Amino acid sequence: MQALSALIRKELRLYFNSPIAYIFIVVFISFSMWMFFRGFFLTNQADLRGYFDFLPWIFLFLIPANTMRMWAEEYRQGTVETLLTSSLPIHFAVLGKFLASLAFLGLALLLTFLLPISISFIGNLDWGVILVAYLGVFLLGAAYTALGLFISSITNNQIVAFILAVIVTFAFYILGSSIVTFALPGFITGILQAISLGNHYDSIIRGVVDTRDIIYYLSFIGFFLLLNYYVLKSRR
């Protein structure tokens, strides 16, 4: 556990020793706030549903931009060889990068919590729904991160990792949407909705915690972390 903790701290230092962390946070907060407030005063309602509706689309580009370098840069610099031939277990290396990315994502989301606090002075907010929605955003971000890390592990080109992560994440998000399923048989629609990131996210941000949604996200995250592990194991 000490080795895992040290790896997480190392990854977090790499974040904040470069402009990447600050650019990510500034762009994320600025753009999300701008998107929210451009329509907020038109509706004249103290409601954050619109905010949570477009966060997945912001994450669609920002999280792949964050994860694209995690393994691809290690390959390019050759530091992955040192990491894989050290005594550190491979699954610790995978978990370390994933948990560091999650800690960074959690910090970015924590800073946006100023938004519901500010809106609460204007109107009455259902804090139960808000907290559950934040849980949904965090789980969705964690799923995007696990997928992005896996894709970064299969290429040494950061641009390729970014483009692939955006495409695959987008595909998983819209699988259960009506634009994909409108002409498909019912049983196929049910399968696509069951594996769709967007379908489970929409379920959570309504304010209802369904254990099936939680299990889905944990399984999705675990599956892609496992794939990441086997990619690195094959390289060792």
Structural contact between residues 98 and 11, judged by C-beta atoms closer than 8 angstroms: no
Q: Which letter does DSSP use for residue 123 in this model?
A: S
DSSP states of 76-120: HHTHHHHHHHSSS-HHHHHHHHHHHHHHHHHHHHHHHTHHHHHHH
- How many domains in the chain? 1
pLDDT beneath 70: ranges in the chain: 1, 39-46
Would the CA dihedral through 102, 223, 147, 182 be positive or negative?
negative
Per-residue pLDDT at 168: 96
Whole-angstrom distance, CA of residue 71 vs CA of residue 148: 10
Whole-angstrom distance, CA of residue 145 vs CA of residue 165: 9
pLDDT tens readout for residues 199-213: 999 989 888 888 999
Whole-angstrom distance, CA of residue 21 vs CA of residue 141: 16
Q: Which residues contact 93 (CB under 8 A, 6 or more apart)?
A: 7, 83, 84, 232
Task: Return the structure tokens found at 77.
Answer: 């610099």
DSSP states of 124-182: ---HHHHHHHHHHHHHHHHHHHHHHHHHHTT-S-HHHHHHHHHHHHHHHHHTTSHHHHT
Domain of 179, in residue numbers = 2-235
Per-residue pLDDT at 61: 92
Per-residue pLDDT at 58: 92
Q: Which residues contact 232 (CB under 8 A, 6 or more apart)?
A: 71, 80, 84, 90, 93, 94, 153
